[in-house]
């Protein structure tokens, strides 16, 4: 027992090879970093299409402007909730933060089914534009999801699937918001179904792939 290492020696031995780790920025700062990438995409689309399409659509049907507000707030809230879920000690109830703006997004968009009575001057999305909406949201959600997952990997969330689902919701909502810049059609039932399908596909893909990438026992 006389040769047993002292506590101080053991502590120094265990800590000799440790490398200092820079603390993660708070969730709001990481959310802003991701939103900056979304803003760059918005600027690129605005340079290409301008504001005329969106303003004409919103003036003709103000409910769609509220739907856009709901989508933007959903993206912000879901991104923040995803980053917050990787912080130890955060209450799990913060995962419900995107629910109120999502209800606004869904509710205002649902009025599109009454487009013929509410705002007959707008175009009604037929079979052709609806798949375009689906492809647009999926195409923009891929890089936004990849960036969000990359930012989340440093935190190693304790609930990786929940975090990945929130990341998928944020990416899909942001992509739907970007779609408003170049989407000249009203929200008919087929259009809403395409949006809903795109959001579900993005969330499911993030849960399957993002959940594995964020898992603590990943290779």
Q: Which residues of 32-53 are buried (b: 16+ CB within 10 A; e: fewer)?
A: eebbeebeebbeebeeeeeeee
Residues 172/219, Cβ–Cβ less than 8 Å: no
Residue 201 falls inside a structural domain: yes
Q: How many whole angstroms separate alpha carbon 98 and alpha carbon 104?
A: 10
Residues 133/195, Cβ–Cβ less than 8 Å: yes
Rounded to an integer, the average pLDDT of 170-176 is: 96
Closest by CA position to 125, among listed 109, 179, 133: 133
Q: How many whole angstroms separate alpha carbon 55 and alpha carbon 65?
A: 9
Q: Is 123 helix (H, G, I), strand (E, B) or coil?
A: strand
Residues 163/214, Cβ–Cβ less than 8 Å: yes
Q: How many whole angstroms separate alpha carbon 95 and alpha carbon 80?
A: 9
Per-residue pLDDT at 1: 46
The DSSP string of 146-196 is HHHHHHHTTT--SSHHHHHHHHHHHHHHHHHHHHTTT--EE--HHHHHHHH
Report residue 90's pLDDT band, with 50, 70 and 90 as the boundaries. Answer: confident
Q: Identify the sign of the CA torsion 129, 131, 132, 137.
A: positive
Whole-prediction pTM? 0.82
Q: Is 134 helix (H, G, I), strand (E, B) or coil?
A: helix
Residue 3 falls inside a structural domain: no
Q: Show the domain range for 118.
A: 27-214
The per-residue pLDDT for range 103-141, each reduced to its tens digit, is: 999 888 877 655 544 445 444 444 446 678 889 999 999
Higher pLDDT, 119 or 85: 85
The count of residues in the chain is 219
Higher pLDDT, 68 or 8: 68
Residue 219 falls inside a structural domain: no
Structural domains in the chain (count): 1
Q: Is 124 helix (H, G, I), strand (E, B) or coil?
A: strand
Q: Is 24 helix (H, G, I), strand (E, B) or coil?
A: coil
Residue 12 falls inside a structural domain: no
Per-residue pLDDT at 61: 76
Rounded to an integer, the average pLDDT of 164-181 is: 95
Residue 18 falls inside a structural domain: no
The per-residue pLDDT for range 11-68, each reduced to its tens digit, is: 665 556 656 566 778 899 999 999 999 999 999 999 999 988 888 888 877 888 899 9
Residue 15 falls inside a structural domain: no
Residues 85/163, Cβ–Cβ less than 8 Å: yes
């Amino acid at each position: 027992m006389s040769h047993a290492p002292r506590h101080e020696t053991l502590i120094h031995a265990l800590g000799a090879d440790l490398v200092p780790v820079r603390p993660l920025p708070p969730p709001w700062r990481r959310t802003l970093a991701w939103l900056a990438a979304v803003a760059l995409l918005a600027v690129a689309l605005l340079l290409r299409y301008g504001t005329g399409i969106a303003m004409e659509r919103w003036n003709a049907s103000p409910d769609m402007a509220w739907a856009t507000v709901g989508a933007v707030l959903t993206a912000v809230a879901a991104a923040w909730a995803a980053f917050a879920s990787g912080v130890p000690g955060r209450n799990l109830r913060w995962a419900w933060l995107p629910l109120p703006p999502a209800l606004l997004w869904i509710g205002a968009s649902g009025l599109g089914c009454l487009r013929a009575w509410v705002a007959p001057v707008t175009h009604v999305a037929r079979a052709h534009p609806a798949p375009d909406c689906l492809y647009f949201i999926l195409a923009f959600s891929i890089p936004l999801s990849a960036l969000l997952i990359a930012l989340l990997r440093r935190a190693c969330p304790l609930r990786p699937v929940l975090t990945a689902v929130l990341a998928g919701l944020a990416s899909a909502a942001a992509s739907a918001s970007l779609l408003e810049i170049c989407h000249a059609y009203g929200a008919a039932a087929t259009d809403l179904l395409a949006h809903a399908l795109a959001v579900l596909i993005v969330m499911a893909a993030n849960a399957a792939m993002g959940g594995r990438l964020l898992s603590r026992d990943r290779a």
